[in-house]
A and B are shown apart, each in its own frame.
Chain A
Amino acid sequence: DTAVSQTPKYLVTQMGNDKSIKCEQNLGHDTMYWYKQDSKKFLKIMFSYNNKELIINETVPNRFSPKSPDKAHLNLHINSLELGDSAVYFCASSRAGELTEQFFGPGTRLTVL
């Protein structure tokens, strides 16, 4: 009964490749997020969608493109992967509104060689 799930858990790929990470939540939440956690454990928001609409888009390279086919899914596609993209990527979800808990997925460890 996983609340927020991500696939794959590990992703190892070569520089220049294109890859996708998928996220699904079964909590009925309206808002979903992508976070990047670097090797120093810094956790930074990348994108947020509310009801399939992009509402937060931080200073992320255009190579990163989120896609939300429906409220329960938020995928992350990355083009032309670079070494600096290596990190753990977390998907999260929450109810709509400002003051609510975010539920995080288990993370996808991306390694770019």
Chain B
Amino acid sequence: GENVEQHPSTLSVQEGDSAVIKCTYSDSASNYFPWYKQELGKGPQLIIDIRSNVGEKKDQRIAVTLNKTAKHFSLHITETQPEDSAVYFCAATGGGYQKVTFGTGTKLQVIP
């Protein structure tokens, strides 16, 4: 089955700096890579996603890159703000029926 590794597990940055979270996956059949943000006491919420036929996608301060050959993808958050503090999960989906395998999560702390 799919295995998704995520690094780092914790990340502290100063407000205004950039944050980068990296993930690798094992199943070359995976073709959809969402990123979810989980705030304290809430369910995960999609912030950005990328499909296997795209190398990069950007949405305001958030960008995701995908290298299918190397089987890794990354989340980039620029100009971080305190409200970006949360746990971020990468995920890989493939094999039909939306079986999503999540990474282990990164706790991001943005220091004002």
In the complex, which residues of chain A have a beta carbon less than 8 angstroms from the beta carbon of B87? 41
Q: Which of B36-83 contact A (CB under 8 A)?
A: 36, 38, 41-46, 49, 51
Interface residue tally for chain A (C-beta within 8 Å): 26
Q: How far is the CB of B8 from chain A (nearest CB, A)?
A: 14
Q: Are A50 and B97 in contact (CB under 8 A)?
A: yes
In the complex, which residues of chain B have a beta carbon less than 8 angstroms from the beta carbon of A90? 43-44
**Residue ID in chain A nearest B107 by CB atoms:** A41
Given contact pairs A43-B105, A99-B51, A48 touches B98 in the complex (Cβ within 8 A): yes
Q: Are B97 and A101 in contact (CB under 8 A)?
A: no
B-side interface mostly:
strand
Q: Are A107 and B43 in contact (CB under 8 A)?
A: yes
Given contact pairs A90-B43, A105-B43, A107-B42, A99 touches B93 in the complex (Cβ within 8 A): yes
B interface, CB within 8 angstroms of A:
31-32, 34, 36, 38, 41-46, 49, 51, 87, 89, 93-94, 96-102, 104-105, 107
A interface, CB within 8 angstroms of B:
4, 31, 33, 40-45, 48, 50, 55-56, 90, 92, 94, 97-102, 104-107
Q: Which 6 A-B pairs have the closest CB atoms?
A: A104-B43, A99-B32, A43-B102, A101-B46, A41-B105, A55-B97
